[in-house]
Amino acid sequence: MKTYRCKMTGLDCAACASNLEHEIEKLDGVSDVSISFMTEKFAFSCEESQKEEVMKRIRKVVSKNEPDVEIEEV
């Protein structure tokens, strides 16, 4: 597994970040999810071979739950 870090902008509150964390943790192949509302940092772990598919699923979850939030890979 490899850890990936992203910037997550547009979150309204810490509770929103926590809710997204829980929803993303439910996805198959994703672990160690961490979202910081204050620093706008988002990290997760997955297999390198699954990264692109996992990112698609993460973006879908984020769009459904927090449509104003954007994820930028760094």
Q: Tens digits of per-residue pLDDT, 22-67?
A: 999 999 999 999 999 999 999 999 999 999 999 999 999 999 999 9
Domain 2-73 class in CATH: alpha beta
Domain ranges of the chain: 2-73
What pLDDT does residue 26 have? 97
Q: What is the pTM of this model?
A: 0.90
What pLDDT does residue 9 have? 95
**Number of other residues whose CB lies within 10 A of the CB of residue 13:** 9
Using DSSP, state whether 50 is helix, strand or coil.
Answer: helix
Largest CA distance in the chain: 32
What pLDDT does residue 56 have? 97
